[in-house]
Amino acid sequence: TDKDAVKFDTLSYMDILEKGLKVMDSTASSLSMDNHIPLVVFNLNKPGNIRKVVTGESIGTTVKEK
């Protein structure tokens, strides 16, 4: 865990690529962008988070087209 990390509620694919953010693998980000697939990046290790994401609760960072 990086103490200096900043949590974003929403990012665009271009934000990730242009700013060189380490949100996820750049190839996965590019493929998602090319195929218009929105993503949610969240902590899989926290109990209950998968349920929260599936039910639409706002956790983590949403990555989508701007």
pLDDT digits over 30-59, tens only?
899 999 999 999 999 999 999 999 999 999
Q: Which residue range(s) make up the domain with 51?
A: 10-64
DSSP class of residue 23 equals S
Task: Look up tokens 């190839």; give the residue.
Answer: 27
Q: What does the pLDDT read at residue 38?
A: 92
pLDDT tens sequence across 1-36:
678 888 899 999 888 888 888 878 778 888 999 999
Does any domain span residue 47?
yes
Does the predicted TM-score (pTM) go above 0.75? yes
- Residue 37 included in any domain: yes
In a domain, 1, yes or no: no
Q: For residue 3, tell me if it sits in a domain.
A: no
State which H helix or E strand residue 61 sits in: strand 61-64
Helix or strand (DSSP H, E) at 13? helix 13-19
> How many domains, in total, are found in the chain?
1
39 lies in some domain: yes
Q: Is residue 28 part of a domain?
A: yes
Residue 2 inside a domain? The answer is no
Cα→Cα distances 62→19, 29, Å: 16, 12
